Amino acid sequence: MITSADQMAAMHKANIESMQALAAKSMAGLERLAELQMAAAKSTFEDASEQMKALFAIKDIKELTEMASTAAQPAADKVTAYSQHVYAIATETGSEIAKIVEKHLADGNQQLHSAIDAMSKTAPAGTEGMVAMVKQAVTAASSAYDQVNRAARQAVDMTEANIASVTKTAAPASKGRKAA
């Protein structure tokens, strides 16, 4: 429970620091995405230029057919790699932000429990049942949050495992198509 101006200032300072950390992590993630986007745009432009040069160098229909059949796979591989990089950046940034939010929530939860304990010591006689009910409600809410958080983490882990599995399966399949 906040009992002085110093405690209030410390609480506001902690909130500001948390917000600054969230903003910094978000900006770092956006910066990484922008760098990836610029690299992808540059690569796409270079590939298109090479494709145009190769297209103008074609002398017969056979060369055109060969070029058409070999050009699609590298592009598909690049799209897959780009998607994986975007997913990795988003996952890492989200994980870092989640850590900050969880710490902030844990601190807030501790402050709430301290406030309830302080309130219970100064509560009028006969309100013990109400105080116990408030403590129980806060404990139940914390437990529910923890369960939802664990379920969300399991879902993310399962999604990441599925993506890794699909990537491992798709890579040999695309290599087999190149050889054919």
From CA 113, how far away is CA 11, in angstroms rounded? 15
In the chain, the percentage of residues whose pLDDT exceeds 70 is 91
Q: What is the separation, in whole angstroms, between the first and last Cα of the chain?
A: 71
Cβ count within 10 A of residue 86: 15
pLDDT score recorded for residue 68? 81
From CA 133, how far away is CA 116, in angstroms rounded? 11
Cβ count within 10 A of residue 25: 19
pLDDT per position as a tens digit, 50-94: 988 988 888 888 888 888 878 777 888 888 889 889 988 988 998
In three-state secondary structure terms, 89 is: helix
pLDDT score recorded for residue 180? 46
What average pLDDT does the chain have? 82
